[in-house]
Structure 1
Amino acid sequence: MAPPQQLVLAASSTDAGVAAWDLRTGAEAIRHRTCASRPRALTVVAGRFLAASQAPAGNSAPIHYYHWDKPQVAVKSFPVEPIRALIADPEGSYLIGGGISGDIFFWEVASGELLVQWHAHYRAVRCLALYDFLLISGSEDGSIKVWDLLTMLDEQSRLEAKTQHIYSFNQHALPVTDVACCHGAIAVSSSEDHTCKIWSLSEGRMLRSISFPAITDSVALDPRSHIFYAGGRDGKIYVTAMGIDVTSPSSDDSTIIGALDDHSKAVTSLASSTDGLILISGSEDGNVRVWDTRTQQVIRKFKHSQGPVTNVLLVTPKRVNLPPLQSLRKVCSANGGSESRAVIVPQPENDVQIFGNFSSDFLERCLDALQQPGSSSRLFESGASALYGAPKQQGVEWRSKYLELQDLFVREVLDQMPSPKNT
């Protein structure tokens, strides 16, 4: 049986379309027209289709859907404002967009309904990432915020919360350019201030700040080890260790353990394979490179366009028959307000009725997560426990066990790794 096809995808801020190359053969499989997307604006919806928010052209800045086997746009949606960053959840049930006003939009893919919209930042949202039920957003205002989707999707929880966000990180001095998450509730962000910073999402604090010779516009994590890649505006991809000896200064450049160098201009976008053996890079020089991370050599070279490459992805398409794709709504309901709906889902033992603006599959995932202590720290707080009927004492015990495991992970990453100087 032949292995599933893997595609290298690339998009540009100029109208050069979305190019797709077969990773194994190097042949161009298809080029979707039209598309002009800024960085962090291209996403794959559970391998079933592509979604790309378009750079503003006049008064128009739509979101496009593309099928794998058709070059033309399948669906055009017109949100209320240009969407700067776009991601989908792993199951492909939702699209989350960050607007140029600083608002975040949360759509249900199946219906196109806008479930919730909230003001997240003072300036445009530049990047988004998901970790379990946590949403991380980075902005041009230099801030990073962490949001609990259990709270944001429930109107009553939003009203009762002291602040809508869980954490607000303001240590970056200039716009945040990218953010990525890895196991153990660790996030890495890049910024125009020449630093990448490592964050604990469970403890709500910065673990490390790493300085670079150039501005870094993109980050990708190696799932095999405590390594991340940072794409610089000098054309280099910096190979960076997340952990160093605790005796080293937290901003020590010794954490940069190497560099991949084959681009002539800024590296704007990075993507890693799930096994960490492949790294994809896109650059302002219009080229895409495929790297073998074991040898740190280029194994494929693709030319996308004369303009800059702004987004790269590595995907395994699922060629399935889809129901008609729905355009995304501009507002939550006809009057622009939030519409509360009751949904029928498997109930907890005490038969507490659940209300809110959730779809049933998301609720089922939330209920499953509440029974697993390793999901996300926010799930163990008393508010979530009360909402879903989980005993408060049990929630406290789960949270305590989770934080013990989190402590072990952080110590392993930051304290027990050998210094790059000694490798």
Structure 2
Amino acid sequence: MAPPPAPVPQQQLVLAASSADAGVAAWDLRTGAEAIRHRTCASRPRALTVVAGRFLAAAQAPAGSSAPIHYYHWDRPQVAVKSFPVEPIRALIADTEGSYLIGGGISGDIFLWEVSSGELLVQWHAHYRAVRCLALYDYLLVSGSEDGSIKVWDLITMLDEQSRLEAKTLHLYSFNQHGLPVTDVACFHGAIAVSSSEDRTCKIWSLYEGRMLRSILFPSIIDSITLDPRSHIFYAGGRDGKIYVTAMGVDVSSNSCDDSSIIGAFDDHSKGVTSLASSTDGLVLISGSEDGNVRVWDTRSQQVIRKFKHSQGPVTNVLLVSPKRVNLPPLQSLRKICSANGESESRAVIVPQPENDVRISGNFSASFLERYLGSLQNGCSSRLFESGASTLYGAPNQQDVEWRSKFLELQDLFVCEVLDQMPSSNNT
């Protein structure tokens, strides 16, 4: 009896977009062949995202009075649907399951759409200037702005009108230690955030204590960062064309800038590194540059294993994705969503989730939100990190108090392991 055929490895695509109207190029990581080039697309950094592996979404750079969001299928080069938000979107991300699309606007507002219906669920003013970057881990959203600030948001609170009305501040934390615009931000297992800025520093933040843990000074402005999921390092793309390998855990004072965390550098771009992406196993790093080139790196040997030429213009976004070849229903026509007061109007894309779609493994944001929204309806607090634990009818819940204490203890141990520090003694 013949042995069963070997499983076909899942295709991985290297995606790259440019701020010049050169489309979104897709190359097969294994063969190096160009798979497709989606046209048209002109997106700024942090404005390209994959929605649960099912399709692409790209916020377009303003051209005249138009700045739509484009949706693309994997096997069709043309734009599938154009969506026209109320203002140009500067940063765009989707949650792991593809339930929500979150955009940061040039006014400083953040927009949260439900993908399945296209409905604009909530819009709020987050920053004084444009939102440049977004990072999401489960229900925690981190935003960075041209005004130099970073804010952390609890999406449970933002999705519940009563919680928003009762909250003293909409954000969980506001960090203002960067002196110039924030260029990128990333989350490490929901406990730590790393940010980069035009002030030539990357800063590491505790997402449960709400404070800066470390500031690292670089020889160049850092425009992009990505985390290595295997270890406690991150990669920082500089305007000098280098990719700096940076350790999170070097024993230095958190109150001073330090460059001893930089433990190496990749160097093959002739201009600034604008975008970085890492594989889930951390063995492959993708970089895009202002020189119009994309590089695929073996992180163990620190050697370039593939080179792609995107366009004459700068590469602004790179992604490494495993596309899901599902049969999406026809995209429905755009519908207009009006705000409650009727003063503003936005239009969002409706993309029904296919009935035969497979649940995406990962952080299961939708399930998490459903559980917590259910608890909100029963009168429980949604703010996990507030000093007061969940309450019911105004009385503290002892089990929640104990759970929170254990959670903070584990978070403290995790952060200390990453940063090579002794645990703090200020847990409650």
When residues 360 and 17 of structure 1 are mapped into structure 2, their CA distance, relative to the original with a 3 A threshold, is closer
What does residue 335 of structure 1 align with? 342
Asked whether the equivalents of residues 228 and 239 of structure 1 are also in contact (C-alpha less than 8 Å), the reply is yes
Task: Give the C-alpha shift of residue 366 in structure 1.
Answer: 3.2
Greater mean deviation of Cα atoms: 251-260 or 191-200: 251-260
The answer to whether 1:120 aligns with 2:117 is no
The answer to whether 1:395 aligns with 2:400 is yes
Cα distance in 1 for partners of 2:337, 2:30 equals 40
When residues 390 and 301 of structure 1 are mapped into structure 2, their CA distance, relative to the original with a 3 A threshold, is farther
Cα distance in 1 for partners of 2:273, 2:374 equals 40
Match of 1:142 among 145, 148, 154: 148
Asked whether the equivalents of residues 110 and 124 of structure 2 are also in contact (C-alpha less than 8 Å), the reply is yes
What does residue 252 of structure 1 align with? 258
RMSD: 2.5
When residues 64 and 131 of structure 1 are mapped into structure 2, their CA distance, relative to the original with a 3 A threshold, is same
AA aligned opposite 1:64: H
Asked whether the equivalents of residues 235 and 246 of structure 2 are also in contact (C-alpha less than 8 Å), the reply is yes
What does residue 195 of structure 2 align with? 189
What does residue 342 of structure 1 align with? none
Paired residues, number: 391
AA aligned opposite 1:36: A
When residues 180 and 22 of structure 1 are mapped into structure 2, their CA distance, relative to the original with a 3 A threshold, is same
Cα distance in 2 for partners of 1:85, 1:193 equals 20
What does residue 350 of structure 2 align with? none
Cα distance in 2 for partners of 1:361, 1:325 equals 25
What CA deviation, in whole Å up to 9, does each residue of 1:70-117 have, x standing for no partner? Answer: 000001000010000000000001100000000000000111000000
Task: Give the C-alpha shift of residue 36 in structure 1.
Answer: 0.2
Asked whether the equivalents of residues 203 and 212 of structure 2 are also in contact (C-alpha less than 8 Å), the reply is yes
The answer to whether 1:92 aligns with 2:98 is yes
When residues 393 and 248 of structure 1 are mapped into structure 2, their CA distance, relative to the original with a 3 A threshold, is closer
Asked whether the equivalents of residues 276 and 293 of structure 1 are also in contact (C-alpha less than 8 Å), the reply is yes
Alignment of 1:125-274 (within 5 A): 125-183=131-189, 185-246=191-252, 250-274=256-280
Cα distance in 1 for partners of 2:17, 2:344 equals 35
Greater mean deviation of Cα atoms: 112-121 or 323-332: 323-332
Asked whether the equivalents of residues 79 and 329 of structure 1 are also in contact (C-alpha less than 8 Å), the reply is no
Cα distance in 2 for partners of 1:157, 1:368 equals 13
What does residue 379 of structure 2 align with? none
When residues 36 and 390 of structure 1 are mapped into structure 2, their CA distance, relative to the original with a 3 A threshold, is farther
Task: Give the C-alpha shift of residue 395 in structure 1.
Answer: 1.6
Task: Give the C-alpha shift of residue 184 in structure 1.
Answer: 5.0
Cα distance in 2 for partners of 1:275, 1:35 equals 29
Cα distance in 1 for partners of 2:341, 2:328 equals 27
Cα distance in 1 for partners of 2:259, 2:96 equals 34
The answer to whether 1:411 aligns with 2:412 is no
When residues 73 and 29 of structure 1 are mapped into structure 2, their CA distance, relative to the original with a 3 A threshold, is same
Structure 2 gap segments, 5+ residues each: 1-6, 346-364, 377-381, 423-428
Task: Give the C-alpha shift of residue 394 in structure 1.
Answer: 1.6
Asked whether the equivalents of residues 160 and 373 of structure 2 are also in contact (C-alpha less than 8 Å), the reply is no
Cα distance in 2 for partners of 1:388, 1:300 equals 60
What CA deviation, in whole Å up to 9, does each residue of 1:368-394 have, x standing for no partner? Answer: 999xxxxxx943647783479996222
Alignment of 1:305-316 (within 5 A): 305-316=311-322
When residues 194 and 21 of structure 1 are mapped into structure 2, their CA distance, relative to the original with a 3 A threshold, is same
The answer to whether 1:379 aligns with 2:379 is no
> Aligned with 2:43: secondary structure?
coil
Asked whether the equivalents of residues 78 and 328 of structure 1 are also in contact (C-alpha less than 8 Å), the reply is no
The answer to whether 1:322 aligns with 2:339 is no
When residues 249 and 134 of structure 1 are mapped into structure 2, their CA distance, relative to the original with a 3 A threshold, is closer
AA aligned opposite 2:414: F
When residues 156 and 313 of structure 1 are mapped into structure 2, their CA distance, relative to the original with a 3 A threshold, is same
AA aligned opposite 1:412: E
Percent identity, aligned pairs only? 86
Cα distance in 2 for partners of 1:413, 1:106 equals 32
What does residue 81 of structure 1 align with? 87
Asked whether the equivalents of residues 157 and 383 of structure 2 are also in contact (C-alpha less than 8 Å), the reply is no
When residues 113 and 204 of structure 1 are mapped into structure 2, their CA distance, relative to the original with a 3 A threshold, is same
When residues 47 and 155 of structure 1 are mapped into structure 2, their CA distance, relative to the original with a 3 A threshold, is same
AA aligned opposite 2:149: S
What does residue 25 of structure 2 align with? 19
Cα distance in 1 for partners of 2:82, 2:312 equals 26
What does residue 341 of structure 1 align with? none
Task: Give the C-alpha shift of residue 294 in structure 1.
Answer: 0.5
